[in-house]
Amino acid sequence: MTATAAAPATRLSFQTRPADYKHWSLRIDGDVATLVMSVANDGGLREGYELKLNSYDLGVDIELADALMRLRFEHPEVRCVVVTGNSDRVFCAGANIVMLRTSTHGFKVNFCKYTNETRLGIEDMSAHSNKRFLAALNGTASGGGYELAIACDKILLIDDRNSAVSYPEVPLLGVLPGTGGLTRITDKRKLRRDHCDAFSCVAEGIKGKRAVEWNLVDRLAPLSKWQESVDAMAREMADELPPRDVAGIALPDVGGEPTEDGGVTYQYVMLKLDRDARTATLEIVAPDAGPTTAEEAYAQGAEWWLFQAFRELDDALLQLRFNEPEIALVLVRALGHASTLQQTDALVATSEHWFVSEVRHYVKRVLKRLDLTAKSLYAVIDEDTTFVGTFLELALACDRTYVLNDPDVDVKLGVTAVNGGTYPMSNGISRLETRFLAEPARVAAVLAEAGTLFDAERADELGLATFAPDSIDWEDELRIAVEERASFSPDALTGMEANLRFAGPETMETKIFGRLSAWQNWIFQRPNAVGERGALTCYGTPQSPEFNTQRT
């Protein structure tokens, strides 16, 4: 008999605000914002390590993600964001090594995933939010510190004969440069392979003119003219974009009340846990009505139901990732009024209002977070469920869809304009296109249903149901499927799902997360990294690492 699963000892919270930041300060000066990394040595999420040399842990990244959200929604007037540090001769030393060494394997991987999602958020802002990012490296940027820099549009490095950029993971730690780091220097900054190889194997990094020549940084600035050079480059980048003379909206905490089973009840989302069965149910509800114009949505601000619901969904997904590692399978249900979803989606798909646009891209990123969550996902489309438009995207993100085929049961599915590509996946195409790679004509057939609601039988005909049992078989078939999935090896499932969810084109984004799920996941468990004499274990101690020299 399996022992009853225990609740996690310490639950992480992903809610914060500038007044509570320990590690960052955010300053707004007209259309230029400055994010200063000033990591508190004793401000780690848990005891046992010091965040020296502006090294970071998950708490530092949670604050950064919050600051980016506030720049999007509270400060739309900002056109350039300067990311810099306040430590002498150090911008950021990367992820804290003792934190990594003393973390569980699962936490390491989820930490790397969250970090990469946050950096992709910077790049998404550059593409869609009328903002440019300048990494003003006031000192050496190592490992994850340099990864943060290359997520920005431009990099300015101080020329003080000491400061460098480096990826020391291979020579010092026996692991990869964050996977996102390796991918960005090849796919984004387009360094030559031989230069990448040399750069990734020299622990002290590369500085000065060679860093510019190899395109590791964009410009150098002497110490004597550092602030002047930062200000000038920020002004130049801001002026490349049109001004925005609009008022932002305030972002209150998401909220949510803990439940007896360890889940959370929010306003529009509910997370229910069955730890013994290793399953969770994630429900989202559309209200009776919502705004029909951009002006009405803007007036509601953070209370606009779509924005609030997806902020809640995002928080629930992070709760599942970090606080519920034993949960194997998430059952996704969508409820509420189809007319509200249809009206909301019509607004989201067509409006160019800055606020609606920002919410559209936020929903896109939350759906990507769902795609990238290492849990099995089954959409349960049964009585009173409403998988329409944006909510249909939730079903399309799942590994399987179970649809109850009973003419006496109210099951609603529907397509809206957003299903045609408003929310692309990491592979750059829609979930419908990903689903029907071999049969692109099916995408058009599904989209032709826009404006109507259809039942289980029609969903099955369109290829939207994995299984569509009748009411006689429904409970047994779903129960067996759930029990079977929860019994499989978590490692095998993570590998399988990461391969199957991103069919189609390869992008920088799919490479980052594919390599994180496979290569880094594997390397983080190898004795050469984390064994008794592994490089990650020995770093910062008098011991030298000992490697198993077989290449595999």
Domains assigned to the chain? 18-238 (3.90.226.10), 257-493 (3.90.226.10)
Given a contact cutoff of 8 angstroms between Cβ atoms, the answer to whether 424 and 489 are in contact is no
Burial of 27 (0-12, 13-18, 19+ CB in 10 A): exposed
pLDDT of residue 9: 58
pLDDT of residue 517: 82
pLDDT of residue 371: 97
Q: How far is residue 488's CA from residue 485's CA, in Å, rounded to a whole number?
A: 6
Write out residues in the chain with pLDDT < 50, as ranges. Answer: 1-7
pLDDT of residue 5: 47
pLDDT of residue 1: 32
Q: How far is residue 284's CA from residue 366's CA, in Å, rounded to a whole number?
A: 13
pLDDT of residue 260: 92
Q: How far is residue 93's CA from residue 148's CA, in Å, rounded to a whole number?
A: 11
Look at residues 45, 487, 11 and name the one whose alpha carbon lies nearest to residue 262.
11
pLDDT of residue 276: 95
Which residue's entry shows tokens 């095998």? Answer: 492
Beta strands in 328-477 (DSSP E): 329-336, 376-381, 386-388, 400-403, 412-414, 453-454
Beta strands in 38-96 (DSSP E): 80-85, 89-92
| pTM assigned to the model | 0.96
Which residue's entry shows tokens 């594997």? Answer: 522
CA angle 321, 263, 385 (to 5 degrees): 95
pLDDT of residue 3: 42
